[in-house]
Amino acid sequence: MFFSSFAKLKKTKKPIAIVPAPCNKGRLKHILFILLFILSSSRPCGAISLNDVSILLPLPKSVDFSNLLRPDDRGPEGALLYLPAYKKMNELVPEHENAVVWKDQLRVIALRLDPCFVEGVGPKPCRRQIRLVWQPIVFKNAKPEARDAAVHSFYEFDEVTFQKIKMEWFRVANGKASDELQIHPQILQEGWQGPYWENLRRLILHYCGEKNLIRMTTMNVMGGEQMWIFAGFDIVNGEVIPMQIPRFFNKMSQGVISSSSANKGFTGGLMPAPEVDAEVGEFLEDSFTFKRTYNEEQVRAVIVKAQEYESPAKHNPGTLDCASCHMADSIHRWGKLNFPQWDWAEKSPQNGPLRTNQLRAFGYFMSWPVTSSRVLNESEDVVRSMGL
pLDDT of residue 352: 75
User: What does the pLDDT read at residue 259?
Assistant: 85
Q: What per-residue confidence (pLDDT) applies to 380?
A: 95
Q: Which helix (H) or strand (E) holds 39?
A: helix 25-41
What is the full per-residue pLDDT of the chain (388 aa) written as tens digits? 333 333 333 333 444 333 344 445 455 444 444 443 444 444 445 678 999 999 999 999 999 999 999 999 999 999 999 999 999 999 999 999 999 999 999 999 999 999 999 999 978 899 999 999 999 999 999 999 999 999 999 999 999 999 999 999 999 988 888 899 999 999 999 999 999 999 999 999 999 999 999 999 999 999 788 999 999 999 999 999 999 999 999 999 999 998 876 778 999 999 999 999 999 999 999 999 999 999 999 999 999 999 999 999 999 999 999 999 999 999 999 999 999 999 887 766 767 788 888 899 999 999 999 999 999 999 999 999 987 6
Q: Are 341 and 20 in contact (CB under 8 A)?
A: no
Instruction: Decide if 204 is inside a domain.
Output: yes
What per-residue string of b and e applies to 209-226 under the rule 16 or more CB within 10 Å gives b? bbebbebbbbbbbbeeeb
Q: What are the phi and psi torsion angles at 54 (to 5°)?
A: -130, 105
In a domain, 30, yes or no: no
* 83 domain residue, yes or no: yes
Say what the pLDDT of residue 66 is: 97
- Distance, in Å, from the CA atom of 217 to the CA atom of 371, rounded to the nearest integer, reads 18
0.75 surpassed by pTM: yes
Burial class of 87 by CB neighbour count within 10 A (0 to 12, 13 to 18, 19+): exposed
Q: Is the distance from CB of 54 to CB of 181 less than 8 angstroms?
A: yes
Contacts of 233 (CB under 8 A, 6+ apart): 85, 88, 89, 215, 216, 217, 240, 241, 242, 243
The answer to whether position 16 is within a domain reads no
What are the C-alpha distances in Å from 145 to residues 104, 141, 142, 193, 377?
A: 14, 10, 10, 21, 26
Give, in order, the Cα–Cα distances in Å from 305 to each of 291, 331, 374.
Answer: 16, 9, 13
Domain interval for residue 268: 42-385
> Does residue 31 lie within any of the structural domains?
no
Number of domains present in the structure of the chain: 1
Largest Cα span, the chain? 91
Could you tell me if residue 33 is inside a domain?
no
Does residue 37 belong to any structural domain of this protein? no
Residue 281 resides in a domain: yes
**Residue pair 136/68 in contact by the 8 Å Cβ criterion:** no
